Amino acid sequence: EEGAVVEAARQLASALVYVHAHDIIHRDVKPDNVMLVHGREMQPGWVQLLDFGVAKDLDAEEELTQPGKALGSLRFMAPEQLFGDPKNQVPANAQTDIFSFGWMLQGMLTGKDPLKGMKPGDMLDKKRTFEFSTKAPDGINQELWALICQCTKLDPNARPKSMKDVLDRLET
Give the ranges where the chain is alpha helix by DSSP (H).
2-21, 79-83, 94-110, 120-129, 142-151, 163-170
Q: Please state, in angstroms and rounded to a whole number, the distance separating the CA atoms of residues 94 and 128.
A: 20
Rounded distance between C-alpha atoms, residue 44 and residue 57, angstroms = 32
Catalytic residues, by residue number, are 28
Residue 8 φ then ψ, to 5° = -65, -40
What amino acid occupies position 170? L
